[in-house]
């Protein structure tokens, strides 16, 4: 996790090496967190690396992770910008907002007459 730059924004790059729980490969993180389908690099020189659980992601997952790469923002920060009320999972809220706005479709929703 540490070498891949995949850890929460609440941990600074200076402090990251002191967090022993980050000294595991992404593969092990996925094994330990079966509900996690993707993880995005939030730290480091490029902030462009994204890791997906094989067979467990879709277009919305790719777009969700791209938002993290492009903005450098956490789930809570992104969800708050989208109107999240803090009750449900911020991650799930973001993906549902992308789905509700047809971000996985090529055409906009047809207008009602
Ligand atoms: Zn996320």
Q: Using one digit for the tens of pLDDT, what is the confidence trace for 38-81?
A: 999 988 888 899 999 999 999 999 999 999 999 999 999 999 99
Q: How far is the CA of 111 from the centre of ligand 1 (A)?
A: 30
Q: How far is the CA of 20 from the centre of ligand 1 (A)?
A: 23
Nearest-10 crossing angle of helices 90-100, 59-71 = 110
pLDDT at residue 107 is higher than 90: no
Q: How far is the CA of 10 from the centre of ligand 1 (A)?
A: 14
Rg (CA), the chain: 16
In whole angstroms, what is the distance from residue 71 CA to residue 73 CA?
A: 5
Q: How far is the CA of 75 from the centre of ligand 1 (A)?
A: 5
Angle at 53 between CA 101 and CA 64, to 5 degrees: 25
Whether 42 and 76 share a structural domain: no
Question: Checking DSSP bridges between strand 50-52 and strand 38-40, what pairing results, if any?
Answer: antiparallel
Whether 24 and 34 share a structural domain: yes
pTM of the model: 0.87
Angle at 90 between CA 31 and CA 26, to 5 degrees: 25
Whether 21 and 48 share a structural domain: yes
Band (35; pLDDT cuts 50, 70, 90): very high
Structural domain count, the chain: 2
Contact 40, 9 (CB under 8 A): no
Q: How far is the CA of 74 from the centre of ligand 1 (A)?
A: 7
Whether 26 and 39 share a structural domain: yes
């Amino acid at each position: 996790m540490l070498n891949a730059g995949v850890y929460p924004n609440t941990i600074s790059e200076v402090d990251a090496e002191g967090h022993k729980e980050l000294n595991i490969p992404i593969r092990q993180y996925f094994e330990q967190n079966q509900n996690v389908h993707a993880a995005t690099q939030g730290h480091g020189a490029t902030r462009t690396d994204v890791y997906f659980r094989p067979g467990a992601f879709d277009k919305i997952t790719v777009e969700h992770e791209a938002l993290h790469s492009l903005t450098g923002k956490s789930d809570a920060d992104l969800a708050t910008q989208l109107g999240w009320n803090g009750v449900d999972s911020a991650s799930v809220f973001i993906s549902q907002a992308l789905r509700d706005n047809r971000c996985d479709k090529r055409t906009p929703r047809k207008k009602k007459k």
